[in-house]
Each structure stands twice: as structure tokens, then as C-alpha cells.
Structure 1
Amino acid sequence: MVTVRSLLAVAVMYNWELCQTNVSNAFLHGDLFEEVYMKMPLGYAGKGETIQNIPAKKFKVCKLKKSLYGLKQAPRQWFAKLSSALLSFGYQQSKADYSLFTKSDDTQFTAVLCYVDDLLITGNSPEHIQRLKDNLKSSFHMKDLGELSYFLGLEVSKTAQRVFISQQKYTNDLLKENGVLNSKPYKLPLDPNTKLQADVGTPLQDPELYRRLIGKLIYLTITRPDICYSVQILSPFMQSPTSVHLQAVKHLLRYLLNAPAQGILLANNSAVELRAYCDSDWASCPMTRRSTTGYCILLGDSPVSWKSKKQSVVSRSSAEAEYMAMALTCCEITWLVSLLKDLGLNDLGPVELHYDNQAALHIAANPVFHARTKHIKVDCHYIRDQVKSGLIVPKYVNTKSQVEDVFTKIVSVDQHHKLLGKLGVCYLHDSQLEEE
């Protein structure tokens, strides 16, 4: 989904055409290279035979010549077929994301992003896009869905100045399914005083309800960075959820009532540059005492990548936790720069990494802190190499201006809305008013 958001952000930045197509019966196009047999369909015996006359041990089987729905090889074989077709059309497969294909001819650029049988096509030449559609139609049975409006559950509203992405229908269906439409909305996704633990509350008789809710909320974080931290807090309890955990999920659902149409805004009037913010909350987990890492990366003013994740090991100090957060963000920046180069952004320049911890910034620039960093040497060397190469430029940012705080902690209501505004998160009616 980071690739989807990045592609849309670049398309909006250069005012490219955005369209989508769908392949009918995609898995039936794949070619098989192994011998695969299947049982005869029920009621079918073959030419000149009846079911009653065939002994049980002499039933025949079918040998498959092409892939079939339900076959384990079907998804891979379909993608191999599609990849071969696009490569034969002159497209190149991205090394950063193998589902992305691009073609550049002098000043003409076209990109195709594949998700199973859904194709997202964009570029600066309508003629090249139409030529690609014609080539695909000659190889597969295609449906041209026209201008991009609904892709993988994402509702895309495009204007001349910006693109607004939300999951309004998905959110409304989720709220209606769980019966909270008539409840009073909350202003924050979680209660700031809540410290969830595994052994507090009554175990749920039906844990599947909790697991389904968490799975749906995880998919909602595609366009809702404001609930990313809360979902990360609630996810570890899916194995044995209790009534307290379910109550916290209900709290989060009632927070969504404030603005079901909330999403992210991708603007075209921003600079072609990457900016990153990262932070950590030291020993925030009350059960494991592991720290929480959070980061957000923006292309100009458009948010393209964000994450809230518990660190894999216990940090001995806050500086160590902060430094590990920087390492994770550097990895994401390195990959994102490679992806954007495939999309034609070759002159991004150094990426500013904003941080609010002076100790971590000093460690990144000064190799003399051996006693404090010898047990995290791999991360140290990686970040320093990125700083020396000029890819990363660490910069200090005041804690009050650290937009990444929404990914590591529950802040006050005013600060919450202030940071979301800086992240490019808005309501649908807000973007409409700006247009007017």
C-alpha cells in the first residue's frame, strides 16, 4: 500500500492521468509447468460410460493444461503470465516492488501497478496509456473501468489540484456492523490512562469477534494514520482477548464516528522532496517493557508511508530506543528512494530526518560514543553510512512540533488535531471547502 500511495502522490504532483482496468477470470490465464491432476467433477463419467458401470478403483482423473481457481500455483502462474506480457510490451519491472512496471520513452512515461487482477495505470501520455490498454486487451479479457475512483476499497476523489483518498464506505459498514452508529463519539482513539495487559478482564467466549475487528481496523490504517498506534496497541491480544480489550476496541470504533470520511490529501503544489519524522516511546509496553517505534514519511506535503511498531528487543536506555527508531526509518527511506527513482524522481536530494532527541542525533554523527553503542553497532554503522553518503540529513525538531507523536502515544485532543493537520489528514468536507 505504500507503493499505491507513492504512485498516486507522484501522479498528482505531475497531474498525470489515473485510470484502472480489471482482468476477467485472471487465474485461468496462467500456464502450468508441472503435472497436476484433479478428480472428475461430480456426476461426470466420460464418453460412453456411466457412473454405475465404473468400478470405484477405475475412476479416471483430469490432467490440467492450464491453471484453475483453487489451485496453489494459480496466483503465481497468473502473475508470471502478466509479467511476461508487460515485459514484451517494453516495460521494465521495478526492483523495489515487483508489482510495479514502468516504461520511459524520451519524455513519455507510463507506470502500471498490479494487484492480482486489478491494474492501476498512470502516466504523462494518454496515447501511451491507450496503447497499453489495447495491448492488454489483445492478450487478456480486460474491463476498462475508466478514471480511477475505487481501488482495493480506497475511494479516490480527484480534482485538478489534489487527490483525496478515504475509506468512507468501508468505515460506515464497519460501524453499522458493530452497532455503534447511534453512540456518542469519542475525541481520541484510546483513553490516555488505559494500560492494557493480557491478564486483565474476563476472557471472551467468542474471540473470533475481536480478531475480525482488529483485522478490519488494520486495513483501515491504509488511509487513517491517526489510528495506527491504537491498532498496534490492541493487536497483540488477538490470541486471548478479554472484555477489557473488546471495550478498548469499541472505544476506537466510537472515535471513528467523528469523521467516517476522514482520509489523506495528496496535493500537487508541494516540493519534490522527501521528509521523514521518527520517534520512540521508551519502555512503553507494560508487559514486555519494549519500546514503540513510529515514523512518517512525506513526499512534499503528501503522506506516503507511516508505521507504529513495537521494537523487537528491550532497549537499555531512551537513547538506544530512539536510535533503533532512526535505523528502522532509514531502512524505509532507502527503499522509498529506490521506488521513487523507478517512478521518475531521480533528483530527490538528501532526505531530512527530523528527530526530537539530541542524544540520538549526536550518536548518528559522532562515532566516539563506543560505550553506549557497542551493543547496537550494526544499527550505528548503517545510519552513519547513510549520513556519510548524503542520503540522510538528521535534523532536530522541537518536541511540540514532532508530528510523529500520533504513532507512539496518545496526545491531548488539541495536539492530536494539530498534528493530523500537519500530516495531511483531513475530512472530506474540509477538502471540498478548500476547493470552493
Structure 2
Amino acid sequence: MRTFGYKQSGLDHTIFIKLKEGKVTTLIVYVDDMVLTGDDPGEMKLLQEYLAIEFEMKNLGQLKYFVGIEIARSNRGIFISQRKYVLDFLSEIGMLACKPAATPIEMNHKLGIFPNQVPTDIGRYQRLVGRLIYLSHTRLDIAYGVNIVSQFMHAPSEKHIDAVYRILRYLKRSLGKGLLFSRNDGLNIEGYTDADWAGDQTTRKSTSGYFTFVGSNLVTNRRLLQDHVQKLNSEDLGIEYTKPMKLHCDNKSAIEIAQNPVQHGRTKHVEVHRHFIKEKLDQKIIQFPFIK
């Protein structure tokens, strides 16, 4: 791919991108399957001919199903879901006829690791949570619950696996949910971030999360029990964006610290990150609108 003029993505090494005369062609590789997309039909045809010389290939036509993800198209845009994956999953573990749950996790749950907890089958727990982690790529409505249960992989209890079963029962109720990537001409970039302060019952660490949208379409999301923030890079796709990116935040103190250099004395432990953020504010690359 590099020989043919394609650049390997620095964010995901299975993605190869070529920019030519303002148009983009992208190839994604997964084991022995490839997805080719872009807005340059001529370049896509040349690439297919080139690859056919190097490998024995078969063109399966328009993408409909890929690594457990279903793709449907309409005038509104592209819809991806994992309905078949969920049905197969529930059938394999004998929960296809289970009683549905209204929500994926109990509100104000108190899950943690405590003395004298009743252990459960660790192998089964890890297999179930592993499959839920993969499913949460298109099912963001379960992502928070999956993030919680995945924190107990090394020492699960009966309460933990009950929480896993609740997620599965919720999936039975909501088979058809997924993500819609709608048609639009806007490139407005907006992000939303939040954290539950000291919410972990065992370590009292905070779980933070963020979502990033281009136009009305979700492009990145993450929940993490960590102490650092990921940096987003759109250079691979050659996107030129001149307006400030809006990062919606519900923490007025965090916004003030980021914007006001007088506050720096209170934040020596995050000095490097604070200077990085302040620099981007001054360059008008990002803004911090407050959201309740």
C-alpha cells in the first residue's frame, strides 16, 4: 500500500489513506478481509486492479456485513448495528427467552470489590464481558454498564455477574439500536465530557468519558478510569477545519482553570496539560462552552 502511494494511519495501522486532488480513498484491513471506500471512483478502481495483481481477491460488492457489524444505507445516511450478533450471543448462552430489562445497569449502583464477596466462574465472566466490550462499539447505550463490569475481570462476584446478566436482558429489549451516520455538509466539531468524581467504590478513582461529533455524527467516544486525556488527530484524513472546536463541559472550575493563567498555582500537578490546553485556547483551536 505504501508503494502505491498510500499513507498508513498513525492512529490505526490497519488503515491506509490516499489524498489526491482533494479526494480521499481509504482501505481498511482486517485479517483477510478488506473494506475500500472513498469519494474517488477512479483511484478506487486503480487500487483494486493493483491489489488483484498482488493477491487472489474477490469483490463482494457494497458492504453489508463486516466482523459482526451490519451496515444499511438509505437517503438519511448509513446505519450500523449488531442485531444479528446480539441474537447469536443470547442464543449461545441460553438467554434468548430471558425477561427483558428496561435499563442496562441499576441507577446509583454500588458495585465494587468487597471482603467476603461470593465468587463466580471467572472464565465465563471474562468471556461474557469480552463480547459485551466488542458489542459496545455500536451500542453506546450499554457502554457505561460494560465499563463498570469490565473493572472486575480479575475477581468477579455473584453481584458482578448479575450486573452482566442485566445488560444482556436489556439487549433482549433493544435489539435494533445502533448508530446513524447521517448525510450533512457540516464539519462543526463538538465534544462532550463528564466525570463521576471519586465514583469507584473500591479505589475512589473517577471515571471520565468523552464524545466527539463531526456535524451530527459521532466519530470518537471513550470511558476510562485513568488520569489522562486522549488527544484527537484528524490530519490523516486531510480535514482542514478553521473554526474552534467546542468542548462542552459541566465543570465551571475546570473551564476557569483552563482559561485563566492566574489559577496556575492550584494546578502544578497538571501543569503540562494545563499549558497544552491554554495554548489551544489562545490559538482558537478549542472553546469551552458550559453545559448543565
Which TM-score band (shorter chain)?
Answer: over 0.9
Describe the shift of the 1:160–1:130 C-alpha distance in structure 2 as closer, same or farther (beyond 3 A).
Answer: farther
Other structure's SS at 2:190 match: strand
Distance in 1 between residues matched to 2:122 and 2:174, nearest whole Å: 28
Match of 1:379 in 2: 273
Aligned to 1:157: 72
Question: Per-residue CA shift, 1:125-156, capped at 9, x if unaligned?
Answer: 32321221111001111121111111221111
- CA–CA distance in 1 between the matches of 2:223 and 2:263? 28
CA-atom RMSD, angstroms? 1.8
Q: Helix, strand or coil: the match of 2:132?
A: helix
CA shift digits 1:206-251 (9 cap, x unpaired):
3111000010000011101111111111112111211111111111
1:241 aligned residue (139, 156, 170): 156
Distance 1:270 1:257 in 2: 36
TM-fit CA distance, 1:270: 5.0
- The answer to whether residue 222 in structure 2 is matched with residue 332 in structure 1 is no
Separation (CA, whole Å) in 2 of partners of 1:387 and 1:168: 42
Give the Å deviation of 1:276.
Answer: 0.3
Shift of 1:107: 4.7
For the structure 1 residues 386 and 116, does the alpha-carbon distance in structure 2 shift closer, same or farther, using more than 3 Å as the test? Answer: farther
Within 5 A, what are the aligned runs for 1:61-100? Answer: 86-100=1-15
Counterpart CA distance in 2 for 1:107 and 1:212 is 45
Q: TM-score, normalised to structure 2's length? A: 0.93
Q: Does 1:203 align with 2:111?
A: no
Deviates more, 1:379-388 or 1:352-361: 379-388
Work out which structure has the larger RCO, using CA pairs closer than 8 Å and 6 or more positions apart in sequence.
1
| Change in CA separation of 1:370 and 1:241 when aligned onto 2, cut-off 3 Å | same
Higher helix share: 1
**Residue 252 and residue 397 in structure 1: after superposition, are their counterparts in 2 closer, same or farther (change >3 A)?**
same
Q: Counterpart in 1 of 2:282?
A: 388
Q: CA deviation at 1:117?
A: 2.3
| Aligned residues between the structures | 291
Provide the residue aligned with 2:58 in structure 1: 143
Residue 105 of structure 1: how far off its partner (Å): 3.0
Is the contact made by 2:257 and 2:264 (CA closer than 8 Å) also made in structure 1? no
197, 210, 214: which one aligns with 1:299: 214
Contact 1:292 1:310 in 2 (8 A): yes
Give the C-alpha shift of residue 108 in structure 1: 4.3
Amino acid at match of 2:139: R
Distance 1:237 1:101 in 2: 36
Report percent identity of matched pairs.
39
**Aligned position for 1:118:** 33
Inter-partner Cα distance in structure 2 for 1:285 and 1:108: 46
- Local SS of the residue matching 1:234: helix
1:280-291 to structure 2, matched below 5 A, reads: 280-291=195-206
Offset at residue 100 of structure 1 (A): 2.4
Question: Which stretches in structure 2 are left out of the alignment for 5+ residues?
Answer: none
1:142-171 deviation digits (Å, cap 9, x = unpaired): 121111111221111012330000011111
Partner Cα separation in structure 1 for residue 185 and residue 172 of structure 2: 31
Distance in 2 of aligned mates of 1:173 and 1:281:
34
Task: Classify the secondary structure of the residue corresponding to 2:209.
Answer: strand
Distance in 1 separating the partners of 2:10 and 2:96: 44
> Which amino acid counterpart does residue 203 of structure 1 have in structure 2?
P
TM-score, length basis structure 1: 0.64
> For the pair shown, which has the larger CA radius of gyration, 1 or 2?
1
Q: Distance in 2 between matches of 1:332 and 1:370?
A: 21
Q: CA deviation at 1:293?
A: 0.3
Letter in 2 for 1:109: V
Equivalent-residue separation in structure 1 for 2:126 and 2:281 (angstroms): 41
Partner Cα distance (1:96, 1:119) in 2: 18
